[in-house]
Structure 1
Amino acid sequence: MLQTTRSSITPGQVWLDTKGERIHTHGGSIITVDDVFYWYGENKEKSTPGSGIWHYGVRCYSSTDLYNWQDRGLIIPPDLDDPTSPLHPAQYLDRPHIIYNAHTQKFVCWIKVMTPGEPTQRSTVLEADSILGPYRIVRSWLRPLGMNAGDFDLVVDPTDGKGYYYFGRVHSELICADLTEDYTDVTGYYSTHFPRRQPPFVREAPSYFARDGLHYLITSGTTGYYPNPSEIAVAPSYHGPFTVLGDPHVNDPSRTSFRTQISSVFQHPHKKDLYIAIGDRWLPHYTDDSSAALQAFEEHFGQEQGGDVEPMDELTTIDTSTADYVWLPLRFDGSMAYIDWKEEWRIEDYD
């Protein structure tokens, strides 16, 4: 593909790097180091149906404008030789999150890993001296607090450097756990939030941000790769209590978060009030018609008062190598945050 220099963000359109190749940072986040933006996530370039490849490592790109991204390669390569390694391509490696520890001067990466055929979701923790690696595993197959830990986000308090780990206790509730001083484990202190009876009502994919002294979480329902309504909640502290404010995508009649699942919220360091919701459109060709979305929701997941939720087989039959990205700015009205659809928008439009 021929890549031209970008000067705007076009949500849902194919995003190419500076070499003209499709960007692969799924379930991704952005970290800023020395005024350079690093966008990293799951490398799905080989994750086609029937390949047996869930991921091909963690890929990272760098940019100075958030439009044009240079491929910096696999900062965490797959382990091709050991099928029992959490980094083997057949393991269900998801949603890497990297934070910087000013005390240890290490970049710390947590990754969620599921093993095919097993119900347990566990974590692997890695460290590096540079954002681009090399990363080395310091903990494998961790069950934080002895729990089945799913989608998550990592947070560092900007004033005291304390770390927090928001994760989904799978098919149950959301947990906020304090991290140890080196950010590679949990201390044992935690709080519980958003208890739900069963999927699809259980919350997952927590994305944290703070604004005006308040702590926000945007979460998704549990519907596999099918999009569903997001939910935003706010609290006076990291540990809550959280008040649910509703779906921030109020202008989406399909109630599918514009066919997107948010993976993180990035606060621009040089803009007064620009927060960007970074999301994956796992099913680019999935209709945004509300009746079709509702039908898929009901057929695959049942009703809250119904019986057992039937598992879906789309985990291995969907071509995630063609998934796209949806970046949208947040709009604030009091304590509520909204996410409006924009066909195209520019960083320069914000103060």
Structure 2
Amino acid sequence: MNLSRRKKSHLFPVLMAASLLFGVLPKAYSQATNFKPGAIWPDNKGVHINAHGGGILYQNGTYYWFGEHKVGGEAGNVAQVGVHAYSSRDLYNWTDEGIALKVSDDKTSDIAKGCILERPKVVYNTKTKKYVMWFHLELLGKGYGAARTGVAIADKVTGPFKFLRSYRPNAGRMPYYPAGTPAAAQINAQHPANKSDVIFMRDFPGGQMARDMTVFVDDDGKAYHVFSSEENNTLHLAELSDDYTSHTGKFVRIYIGQQTEAPALFKNNGKYYMIGSGCTGWAPNPARWFTATSIWGPWTFEGNPCVGAGAQKTFGGQSTHVLPVSGKKNAFIFMADKWAPKDAIDGRHIWLPIVFNGNNIEINWLDEWNLDYFDKQPTQTQPSEKSK
């Protein structure tokens, strides 16, 4: 960790307090008009946006960003505060909306202070008029052994969210196999064919492991929970109930035995896309992407969407969410985290535009860019040649 960078990050609240006292806003905190991937990103209070591993909900002209609130040092790698919320109308400038979900001081609570609470995602249910938050949860003092998912609800978009429960999904349920699924791709409960099948059957009675995750709401209002399972060897895509607060028991396994985490699912022109990463702890690795014509698959591995210098390490980041830009066609932002485990609060946000070349996608590094970038992209119908 760069010590000078760490010292600077800790000075932000002090500098902002001084600025407010004298009624002068530092130049660094003036209204932003561009994205600067990997740079310090001040909110309306001049403090680096503290929403890591998060996702964004768009509603009524406003974007709401939810993410893990970090504190300084390695203590920030566990949940000391909770889930932080921000709002924006232009995506460049963000207003601090406070803590949407607080961890509990009750040590017996599933979300006790010091637990591991990661990758919160919030969706809105138009039927119940509730906001629903899902997240990866590890119980206090259990390391990464619990591998649960947690759910909370709220009446207001920025909370406060009420924690409902945590559990392992789909206990006693076998995967759904779409028509045409080869017999070799199906689990033989008596004779598991591979390591992942063995782990799946091990966890069958009590529910499947659920770690890195996202939530996706389709055009028909159906919601799906995607999570890293089977000791991170395989992704599960599971259907949620009509109120989005539980699982129906219908799910599929994706990229079996290939160790995938950090899923981010989106849809464009009727096709489903998903970006994820390999499993190398806090260290970056090549991103990977998948496509499907049905939410249930089959899902096809397509390689690495990142191109150019730094592509083999996803430009230092790891996927967390893909954001559709309202009012623009074929405009999606790849959101990634540049983790700083030695000083968690210094984690940076890497936002980059996704370029569609036919059915292919590409992510290139840009030092600075804005939403006009999407207006300048030519319409392409043929996939480009790119290294996967």
TM normalised by structure 2 equals: 0.77
Task: Please report how far the alpha carbon of residue 211 of structure 1 lies from its aligned counterpart in structure 2 after TM superposition.
Answer: 0.9
> 1:250·1:339 contact (CA, 8 Å) conserved in 2?
yes
Which of 226, 244, 261 is the aligned partner of 2:318?
A: 261
Shift of the 219–55 alpha-carbon distance from structure 1 to 2, 3 Å rule, reads: farther
Residues 150-191 of structure 1 deviation map (CA, whole Å, 9 limit, x = unaligned): 111111112x21111111113221111111111111101111
Q: How well do the aligned residues superpose, as a CA RMSD in angstroms?
A: 1.5
Unmatched runs of 5 consecutive residues or more in structure 2:
1-11, 13-25, 171-206, 376-388
Q: Does 1:13 align with 2:39?
A: yes
Q: Does 1:191 align with 2:252?
A: yes
Matching residue of 1:163: 223
Which of 278, 283, 286 is the aligned partner of 1:229?
A: 286
2:263 corresponds to which letter in structure 1? P
2:222 corresponds to which letter in structure 1? K
SS of residue in 1 equivalent to 2:79: coil
Matching residue of 2:353: 329
Q: Does 1:142 align with 2:203?
A: no
Q: Does 1:64 align with 2:89?
A: yes
Shift of the 120–7 alpha-carbon distance from structure 1 to 2, 3 Å rule, reads: same
Mapped to 2, the partners of 1:174 and 1:50 lie a distance apart of 29
SS of residue in 1 equivalent to 2:216: strand
SS of residue in 1 equivalent to 2:49: coil
Most deviating of 20-29 and 341-350 = 341-350
> 1:232·1:245 contact (CA, 8 Å) conserved in 2?
yes
Task: Please report how far the alpha carbon of residue 281 of structure 1 lies from its aligned counterpart in structure 2 after TM superposition.
Answer: 0.5
Matching residue of 2:330: 273
Shift of the 120–87 alpha-carbon distance from structure 1 to 2, 3 Å rule, reads: closer
Which of 144, 151, 155 is the aligned partner of 2:212?
A: 151
Mapped to 2, the partners of 1:55 and 1:29 lie a distance apart of 20
2:346 corresponds to which letter in structure 1? T
Task: Please report how far the alpha carbon of residue 55 of structure 1 lies from its aligned counterpart in structure 2 after TM superposition.
Answer: 3.9
Matching residue of 1:89: 113
Unmatched runs of 5 consecutive residues or more in structure 1:
284-316
Mapped to 1, the partners of 2:240 and 2:86 lie a distance apart of 27
Mapped to 1, the partners of 2:89 and 2:146 lie a distance apart of 39
Matching residue of 2:239: 178
Which of 49, 66, 77 is the aligned partner of 2:102?
A: 77
> 2:77·2:116 contact (CA, 8 Å) conserved in 1?
no
Task: Please report how far the alpha carbon of residue 334 of structure 1 lies from its aligned counterpart in structure 2 after TM superposition.
Answer: 1.2
Mapped to 2, the partners of 1:63 and 1:274 lie a distance apart of 17
Mapped to 2, the partners of 1:253 and 1:66 lie a distance apart of 25
SS of residue in 2 equivalent to 1:345: coil
Matching residue of 1:298: none
Mapped to 2, the partners of 1:123 and 1:47 lie a distance apart of 25
Matching residue of 1:127: 153
Task: Please report how far the alpha carbon of residue 233 of structure 1 lies from its aligned counterpart in structure 2 after TM superposition.
Answer: 0.7
1:126 corresponds to which letter in structure 2? A
Q: Please state which structure has a larger fraction of its residues in helix.
A: 2
Matching residue of 1:286: none
TM normalised by structure 1 equals: 0.85
Mapped to 2, the partners of 1:52 and 1:270 lie a distance apart of 36
Shift of the 161–233 alpha-carbon distance from structure 1 to 2, 3 Å rule, reads: same
2:228 corresponds to which letter in structure 1? G
- The higher radius of gyration belongs to 2
> 1:28·1:95 contact (CA, 8 Å) conserved in 2?
yes
Residues 110-166 of structure 1 deviation map (CA, whole Å, 9 limit, x = unaligned): 11111333412101111111111121122x2211111111111111112x2111111
Q: Percent identity?
A: 35
> 2:330·2:356 contact (CA, 8 Å) conserved in 1?
no
